[in-house]
Amino acid sequence: MTEPVGIAIERVSKRFAAVQALVDIDIQVKAGEFLALIGPSGCGKTTLLKCIAGLVAADGGRIVVGSRTVTGPGGREASLVFQDFALLPWATARENAEFGLLLRGAPATERAAAARHALAKVGLAGSFEDAYPSQLSGGMQQRVGLARALAVNPQVLLMDEPFASIDEQTRRILQDDLLRLWSQERKTVVLVTHSMEEAIYLSDRVVVLSPRPGRVHRVLDVPLPRPREALDVRAGAEFARLVDELWQILKKMQ
């Protein structure tokens, strides 16, 4: 297991043609922290996540992941989990889980072992390894996407609304599974979400971005006890209070 690393986001700005997406974003993510990003549609949440991953170049400021200043894609510290699964339809679950290692040039035996280990972590060991995406439910497909991210043993997980495309029951199950994995491995996680309940349930802190151009409007601490998946914190008054506080913050920006 690799040690988690922190992320320093320092005065980051981004413009697309005539649209200013982000302005002077300053966020310090601690090593092993679970941070959620939330805000109105179009506020730049996904753009910021892609800047951290090196998929989009910031126009100003800098981002440091661990000791590496992000200058483009290819950094090995972080893995990205997508909303739409982004699986290869012609590849099995194991082959999809191996894909990141394949891009890194890892030998076949190492790829297979890491993929099987990652699939076991997300509950897809055994016969599911040889299933194709079309044979898997949406929840299972997202588990494969998470296994692919975990197989490269990243220090940071970047998650772009990973549970938005699945039903509410499966979403809650996967949230609990993610919390169990995070408790075991303590990777640094940055999660983009539109769900207030999801942001409060999963994270240590919630960063609220303002309407475009996105700025850090508010940072909300989430002092709920852990392990939350075992304590049923969703049923508690403090959870409801924090969700309502977050809603009041967001409502005032509409």
User: pLDDT tens digits, residue range 68-109?
Assistant: 999 887 667 888 888 877 889 999 999 999 998 888 888 899
What is the Cα–Cα distance from 162 to 92, expressed in whole angstroms?
20
- As a whole-number percent, the residues of the chain with pLDDT over 70 amount to 99
What residues of the chain score a pLDDT lower than 50?
none
What is the Cα–Cα distance from 210 to 39, expressed in whole angstroms?
6
Strand order in the sheet with 216-221: 78-81, 156-160, 188-192, 34-38, 205-209, 216-221
Q: What is the pLDDT of residue 159?
A: 94
Q: What is the pLDDT of residue 73?
A: 77
Cβ(184)–Cβ(216) under 8 Å? no
Q: What is the pLDDT of residue 253?
A: 84
Q: What is the pLDDT of residue 83?
A: 81
Q: What type of residue sits at position 211? A: P
Q: What is the pTM of this model?
A: 0.93
Average pLDDT over the chain reads 91
Between the CA of residue 147 and those of 9, 85, 86, 115, 157, what are the distances in Å? 27, 11, 12, 7, 11
Q: What angle do CA 221, 32, 158 make, to 5 degrees?
A: 90
Cβ(100)–Cβ(94) under 8 Å? no
Q: Which CATH superfamily is domain 1-77+156-254 in?
A: P-loop containing nucleotide triphosphate hydrolases (3.40.50.300)
